[in-house]
């Protein structure tokens, strides 16, 4: 007999998840126009007010390379202010439940995070990143993998001493935009190495949309077999082939309960052009068409999970409204379908009904709710060819 209970088929699949938002960092880093500090603050605040508790605020790297983040300290200062804390308290939000993350790819950025922590405006958590494919890693970090691992180990010790958590990211799990195919076993080993040197958690990243659902399920099953605590793992998917929602589902089925998204599916490689001026970014883009770059969309993910009966902690209607506002901020149509098509309502949309059904049924002698001819048997009898 076929098992129809989804959670019995996939016993590791959670019924409650944590979805962190990285719009203002990963989402905006790819934009070729400067998003105002006021707008960044607005979206950071509203995401938190709508239920986000793990949020990436900014990148503490050199603003010469990524001038989108020249206002990094202003954003942190605002979120650490008494005014913002009082606004959270007024809405019944426990400020201590909010985790503020910044990206700190190299040691100088980690040192900056620690300095800001000493000033009272620093992050709770920072992030460093390795790629299993060394050409991709070099493009992002400017150094080799062995050298970077030693740097990361030093940085984790510094962060531990300062009371900052370190997230270790593993990238190119399912393939590299530079080196091509990769081996998922390398990513499992790298995940163990992050924990060995003291990382607090691990982000498993599909930074170029290489992943497909069956390999996502295989990989996260391998990871959870090797490192069984699901609290340690976070899934990060990019959307380049309209397959990220399938990857999200496959990760859920494997037992992953922590995810990252952006409003409108924004995001991608740091921009190498800002407003009217070329900027370094991380060099030439890995893609040919900017329409097919970005992350999995927060609005659509929340609707998908909600309709599966999975608790997210978000006010989904507020997020859908925020997604519409972001399209105005960015001046273009973004990726969310849910902000236009909404959620599937169990009560339907009676206003779309055509008049006259009740009258027509009455004229035909049919009862209300009758779906089959009255002379038909109560149960269908399948013909022999349907049984074979």
- pLDDT per position as a tens digit, 16-55: 999 999 999 999 999 999 999 999 999 999 999 999 999 9
Is pLDDT at 287 greater than 80 in this prediction? no
Poorest-confidence range of 186-200, 246-260, 371-385? 371-385
Q: Which residue, 135, 136, 79, 138, is CA-closest to 106?
A: 138
Q: What's the pLDDT score for residue 171? A: 97
Query: What span, in angstroms and rounded, lies between the C-alpha atoms of 184 and 267?
Result: 24
Same structural domain for residues 202 and 301?
A: yes
In a domain, 291, yes or no: yes
In a domain, 3, yes or no: no
Q: What's the pLDDT score for residue 242? A: 81
Query: What span, in angstroms and rounded, lies between the C-alpha atoms of 261 and 27?
Result: 9
Q: How would you classify the pairing of strands 258-261 and 233-237?
A: parallel
Burial class of residue 245 in the structure, from the number of CB atoms within 10 Å of its CB (0-12 exposed, 13-18 middle, 19+ buried): middle
Average pLDDT over residues 310-316: 98
In a domain, 352, yes or no: no
Q: What's the pLDDT score for residue 107? A: 98
Residues 246-260 as b/e (b if ≥16 CB within 10 A, e otherwise) read bbbbbbbbbbbbbbb
Q: What's the pLDDT score for residue 350? A: 87
Q: Are 201 and 239 in contact (CB under 8 A)?
A: no
Q: What is the number of other CB atoms lying within 10 angstroms of the CB of residue 211? A: 27
Q: What's the pLDDT score for residue 268? A: 87
Same structural domain for residues 367 and 330?
A: no
Average pLDDT over residues 318-338: 97
Q: What is the pLDDT of residues 214-247, one digit of tens each?
A: 999 999 999 999 999 999 999 999 988 888 999 9
Place of tokens 């390398």: 186
In a domain, 374, yes or no: yes
Long-range contacts made by residues 223-227, C-beta under 8 angstroms, separation at least 24?
Answer: 223/187, 223/188, 223/191, 224/12, 224/254, 224/255, 224/256, 226/188, 226/191, 226/192, 227/191, 227/192, 227/195, 227/202
In a domain, 118, yes or no: yes
Average pLDDT over residues 60-87: 97
Q: What's the pLDDT score for residue 8? A: 95
Same structural domain for residues 362 and 308?
A: no
Q: Which residue, 256, 319, 338, is CA-closest to 17?
A: 256
Average pLDDT over residues 315-328: 98
Tell me the CA distances in angstroms from 126 to 51, 59, 61, 374, one per residue in order. Answer: 21, 9, 12, 67
CA-based R_g, the chain, Å: 24
Q: DSSP letters along 94-154, please?
A: -GGG-EEEEE--SHHHHHHHHHHHHTT---SEEEEEEESSHHHHHHHHSS-HHHHHHHHHH
Q: What's the pLDDT score for residue 388? A: 60
Same structural domain for residues 39 and 122?
A: yes
Coil/strand/helix, residue 54: strand
Same structural domain for residues 370 and 229?
A: no
In a domain, 347, yes or no: no
Q: What's the pLDDT score for residue 241? A: 81
Q: Which residue, 275, 268, 273, 260, is CA-closest to 290?
A: 268
Q: Is pTM beyond 0.75 here? A: yes
In a domain, 6, yes or no: no
Query: What span, in angstroms and rounded, lies between the C-alpha atoms of 180 and 185?
Result: 15
Burial class of residue 14 in the structure, from the number of CB atoms within 10 Å of its CB (0-12 exposed, 13-18 middle, 19+ buried): middle
Same structural domain for residues 60 and 86?
A: yes
Is pLDDT at 387 greater than 70 in this prediction? no
Average pLDDT over residues 80-104: 98
Q: What is the pLDDT of residues 291-310, one digit of tens each?
A: 778 999 999 999 999 999 99
Place of tokens 């409108």: 264
Same structural domain for residues 369 and 273?
A: no
Average pLDDT over residues 84-102: 98
Query: What span, in angstroms and rounded, lies between the C-alpha atoms of 16 and 345?
Result: 21
Same structural domain for residues 379 and 321?
A: no
Averaged confidence pLDDT in the chain: 95
Q: Are 147 and 189 in contact (CB under 8 A)?
A: no
Same structural domain for residues 229 and 372?
A: no
**pLDDT-above-90 percentage for the chain:** 87
Number of domains in the chain: 2
Q: What is the pLDDT of residues 127-183, one digit of tens each?
A: 999 999 999 999 889 999 999 999 999 999 999 999 999 999 999 999 998 999 999
Same structural domain for residues 215 and 251?
A: yes
Query: What span, in angstroms and rounded, lies between the C-alpha atoms of 86 and 79?
Result: 11
**CATH number of the CATH domain containing 249:** 3.20.20.70
Range(s) of the domain holding residue 374: 358-387
Give the pLDDT band of residue 207 (cuts 50, 70, 90).
Answer: confident
């Amino acid at each position: 007999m076929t098992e129809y209970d989804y959670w019995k088929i996939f016993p590791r699949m959670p019924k409650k998840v944590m979805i962190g938002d990285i719009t203002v960092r990963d989402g905006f880093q790819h934009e070729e126009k400067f998003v105002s500090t006021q707008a960044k603050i607005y979206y950071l605040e509203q995401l938190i007010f709508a239920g986000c508790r793990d949020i990436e605020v900014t990148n503490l790297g050199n603003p010469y390379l990524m001038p989108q983040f020249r206002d990094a300290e202003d954003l942190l200062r605002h979120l650490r202010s008494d005014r913002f804390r009082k606004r959270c308290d007024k809405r019944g939000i426990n400020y201590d439940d909010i985790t503020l993350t910044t990206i700190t790819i190299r040691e100088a950025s980690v040192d900056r995070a620690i300095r800001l922590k000493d000033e009272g405006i620093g992050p709770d958590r920072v992030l460093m990143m390795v790629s299993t494919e060394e050409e991709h890693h070099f493009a992002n970090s400017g150094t080799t993998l062995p050298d970077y691992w030693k740097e990361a180990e030093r940085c984790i010790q510094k962060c531990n001493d300062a009371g900052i958590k370190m997230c270790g990211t593993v990238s190119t799990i399912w393939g590299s935009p530079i080196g091509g195919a990769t081996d998922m076993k390398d990513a499992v080993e790298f995940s163990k190495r992050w924990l060995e040197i003291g990382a607090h958690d691990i982000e498993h990243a599909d930074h170029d949309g290489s992943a497909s659902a069956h390999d996502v399920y295989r990989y996260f099953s391998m990871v959870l077999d090797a490192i069984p605590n699901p609290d340690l793992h976070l899934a990060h998917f990019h959307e380049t082939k309209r397959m990220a929602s399938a990857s999200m589902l496959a990760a859920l089925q494997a037992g992953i309960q922590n995810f990252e998204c952006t409003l409108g599916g924004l995001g991608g490689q740091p921009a190498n052009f800002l407003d009217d001026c070329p900027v370094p970014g991380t060099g030439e883009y890995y893609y040919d068409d900017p329409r097919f770059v970005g992350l999995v969309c927060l609005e659509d993910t929340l609707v998908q999970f909600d309709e599966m009966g999975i608790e997210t902690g978000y006010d989904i209607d507020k997020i859908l409204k925020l997604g519409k506002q972001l399209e105005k901020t960015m001046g273009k149509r973004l990726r969310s379908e849910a902000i236009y098509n909404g959620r599937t309502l169990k009560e339907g949309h009676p206003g779309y009904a055509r008049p006259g059904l009740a009258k027509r049924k009455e004229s035909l002698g049919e009862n209300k709710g009758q779906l089959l001819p009255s002379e038909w048997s109560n149960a269908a009898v399948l013909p022999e060819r349907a049984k074979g």
